[in-house]
A = this chain, B = another copy of it.
Amino acid sequence: MMLTDMVKRLMESGSVGIITHIQPDGDALGSASALGLALERLGKKVVIFKNDKPPKKYSFLPGAHLVVDCKGPANRVETLAVLDCADLDRLGDGIQHYEKAGTVLNIDHHISNTMFGNMNMVDTNAAATGELVYQMIKLMGIELNVDIAECIYTAIAADTGCFKYDNTTSVTHGIAGELISIGVESNRICSQIFSLRTLQQTKMLGRAIDSIKTYHCGRTAIMTVTANVMQETGCGQEDLEGIVEFARDIEGVEVAALLRETDGGDIKVGLRSKEYADTAAIAAVFGGGGHRKASGCTIHAPMEKAVTQLIEEIRKSYG
């Protein structure tokens, strides 16, 4: 219903801006490109405001010709579509376009969304914002081409772990099936998003796995990465993404943690649980936070001491 109203508004607009959240992920980038390419086909003047540098692995996405830096001058757009963005803080420098825009459409699937738009469509049942954009494009009466299909597929695959996570619904699979029949190469895109690693990232993964120690009869697995190892492998913080999951995925492990020594000597901690443990509560002890199954904190202590403190808190969490 609301989506129909939003589509009507977009169809009536001569100029449309599209923006997503800072540190954009696959859903943000794919959704923005899909909507941008669709509106371009309707003859609209479209710009996608780029918020932060997107991860390199998404550089294959079509629609790059529509992208401008969001730090550039804020010319008024008739309608601004804000995608996959839970609140205005997440707009970063993009806030200037929000302030100047005519009508703001807030299209998202996060339960924490603050309803900051003139029109709001927040569907927490959607596995990805890409699902909502798919519906909007259908409502526009546009036939999907391979470029648009690839963008939507990327958005959905990224936010569902390639249809693996619990947010995947029959709607998700239905859309994915249609996109594949249009010509999307699922294997290329999923590999690009989830398996591709640089040689440095691969070496880092090996080092992190080598460091695994288990505690509490195998229920806890701890990975440690020293500043030295970071230097030796030539990796930065962003290269550690997803590595802690190799500790969590070990049979019998309930809580896994990756402790990384920063150049300043602090220890950054990423926590994951498999089924029942509340890692947000563990992180909170050290002033951090997050979700039940994924959280983080910083411990101001040398590595060895940080490990000791952390495993003690993890032990307590088993009750």
Contacts and interface: CB of A to CB of B under 8 A. Distances in A.
Given A191-B164, A206-B212, A212-B206, A250 B199 contact: yes
A143 to B, nearest CB: 16
B170 A187 contact: no
B196 A169 contact: no
A173 B165 contact: no
A210 interface: yes
A205 B202 CA distance: 11
Given A209-B205, A246-B202, A246-B205, A166 B187 contact: yes
A180 interface: yes
Interface in A204-260: 205-210, 212, 214, 218, 245-247, 249-252
A231 B197 CA distance: 29
A202 B205 CA distance: 11
A297 to B, nearest CB: 24
Interface residues of A, number: 47
A162 B162 contact: yes
B199 A251 contact: yes
A284 interface: no
A210 B211 CA distance: 12
Interface string A172-183: 111011101100
A171 interface: yes
Interface string A137-167: 0000000000000000000000001111110
Given A162-B164, A166-B186, A170-B178, 15 more contacts: A163-B173, A168-B180, A169-B177, A173-B173, A174-B174, A191-B249, A196-B249, A196-B250, A196-B251, A199-B250, A202-B246, A202-B247, A203-B210, A206-B209, A209-B209
16 contacts: A164-B186, A165-B187, A168-B187, A169-B180, A170-B177, A170-B178, A173-B173, A174-B177, A195-B245, A197-B249, A197-B250, A199-B250, A202-B246, A205-B246, A206-B212, A210-B210
